[in-house]
Structure formats: structure tokens, C-alpha cells
Amino acid sequence: MADIFEVLFGSKARVRLLRLLLLNADKEFSFEDIKTKTLLKKSEVTKELNHFSKIKLVRERSKKNQKLVAINGQFPFYAELKNLFSKSDIDTHSKAFQKLHAIGEVKLVLVSGVFLNYAKSKADMILVVNNVNRTKLKTAMSYLEAELGRDVRFVLMNSEELQYRLNMTDRFLMEFLEHSHQEVINKIPELKRFAAGLKR
């Protein structure tokens, strides 16, 4: 499935940069921050920021010989753009989720928080992975955060820890399962029955 925003806005680089700036409207970013968080090339960041500057979509200032960039809240279509990019869609990030398959034996991926615009969630993602590769996990999460435009708060555990938490009715896990969440990967069929029991 094609990324709707990439089709509408013309490029992945532009979409990533817009997401980062619009969803973190209260923050200023250095050039290096933007490169790191979006995983874009220097030339791509420069090109898009130049476009944004021409239409006054961003504001810039210098601090200690470093240029800082932020979204311009006075831009005529700021509210409309922010509302559009705030509507996170799981399908939009499906390519990013595929990266998770390489991090180990993935048993479960549940999402909430920033993925579902559910601010009350204490975590954005629960990962149950056996034999996890930490390097690949870091790479996958960096890619996912670049696509999402936000930091992702995730909880990682293996199958044994999940079973332990379920047995002791761990409060954090119970709250996560009782409230707004969505399955991305579920290879633990008994979890659905457990979650269904909580909602009775």
C-alpha cells in the first residue's frame, strides 16, 4: 500500500520532516537533530528546509553559532497541517513495522499511545521477543521513530516474562490490555482469550 502522505506531499523526505516538526511543535531542532531523527541525508534536509523557509512554514534562529529550526505556528495552514499529521494510521507505518521481524523471534507487538492518538497510555508499544538482537532492535526503532515523527516508548520482554506478568496480573500490562490498543503481530493465541476476559 502506497503511503498516502508521500503521494500527497511528493517525497518521503518531506513527509518525515513535516511529521517531526508538526508533531513536536514546541521544540526547536538543530540540523544534526533533524538528520538523526529523520534518518535523512544532509542534502535532503537542506533542500526541504529551504522550501519550507521560502513559504515561512518554519522559523529559524541562531544560538551559540548553531541554527535552530521549529515549525511556524503562525503559518496560515498550520492548524490544518498539524491536524492532518496527527491522525496516525497503523497502515501508513506498515513498512516500518516489517523491520521488527528482523530483531529476533517476535511473538507479540501491541501498540497504543502515539500510534492510536491515545495520550493516556503509559507506553506506545509492547514487544515480546525471544533471543532479541539489540543492534537490530535499535535500528528498527530508529526507523520507526523516523517514520512516525515521534519518540516511541516501548516495553521489551521475552515470552517467559510475559507469562510471569500475566500470572501475577501485572498492573501495567492489565491497564494496557484493558484500554485502547491494537495488535500488529500476535503469535500468542491465549493472549486474546486473556484480554477478552478482562473486558467482561
Condensed to tens digits (0 to 9), the pLDDT of residues 161-200 reads 999 999 898 999 999 999 999 999 999 887 777 766 665 5
Q: What is the DSSP letter of 185?
A: E
Condensed to tens digits (0 to 9), the pLDDT of residues 128-173 reads 999 999 999 999 999 999 988 999 999 999 999 999 999 898 999 9
What confidence category does residue 1 fall into, taking pLDDT thresholds of 50, 70 and 90? very low
Query: In whole angstroms, what is the distance from residue 173 CA to residue 198 CA?
Result: 11
Output the nine-digit C-alpha cell for 187. 503469535
Phi-psi region of 182 (alpha: psi -120 to 50; beta: other; left: phi over 0): beta
Most confident option among 67-76, 78-87, 92-101, 111-120: 67-76
Q: What ranges do the domains of the chain cover?
A: 4-86, 90-198
Residues contacting residue 58 through CB under 8 Å, at least 6 positions apart: 21, 49, 52, 69, 70, 71, 72
Domains 4-86 and 90-198 share a fold: no
Query: By C-alpha distance, which of 164, 183, 72 is closest to 125?
Result: 183
Round the average pLDDT of the chain to a whole number and report it. 89
Q: Per-residue pLDDT for 89 more than 80?
A: no
CATH of range 90-198; options 3.30.460, 2.20.180, 1.10.10, 3.30.2320: 3.30.460
Q: Is the Cβ–Cβ distance between 123 and 146 less than 8 Å?
A: no
Q: What is the pTM of this model?
A: 0.82
Condensed to tens digits (0 to 9), the pLDDT of residues 14-64 reads 999 999 999 999 999 999 999 999 999 999 999 999 999 999 999 999 988
Domain made up of 4-86: CATH architecture: Orthogonal Bundle (1.10)
